[in-house]
Structure 1
Amino acid sequence: MKGYIQNQTIILQDSLPDTLQNGDEVEIVIIPIKKRKYHFPTFKLDIKEEYLDREKIYF
């Protein structure tokens, strides 16, 4: 089953099997899914604060 974490709570993306009932004990294994790594160099795009100034852009 897959899910995601939101505010310290695990939200399941699939329905639980019908064989599970309220009060059943289950074992949970958490494996973080790594973000895809690209085979080429990447960089984070950033905007300098000084270039957000309207006068710097138009004059």
Structure 2
Amino acid sequence: MAEARFAELLGQAAMDVWGDMPRDIQEALFETAMKGHAGEREALARLLHDRHPRTAHPAKPS
């Protein structure tokens, strides 16, 4: 039970500071969170961008 509560607290903290994180950390957290939850990718991305508009990064160079 404590593990689930700590995961919730850590997740909320990550969302709170999302815009201050380097892009590579954002991407790593996002991809880890979305493993097995492909149907929720767009909803989470939208939530994060709505909360932290400055995270709308340009496309990565090819």
Both structures adopt the same fold (TM-score exceeding 0.5): no
Larger relative strand fraction: 1
When the two structures are superposed, what TM-score results if normalisation uses the length of structure 1? 0.22
When the two structures are superposed, what TM-score results if normalisation uses the length of structure 2? 0.22
Bigger radius of gyration, 1 or 2?
A: 1
Structure scoring higher RCO (CA < 8 A, sep ≥ 6) equals: 2
Larger relative helix fraction: 2
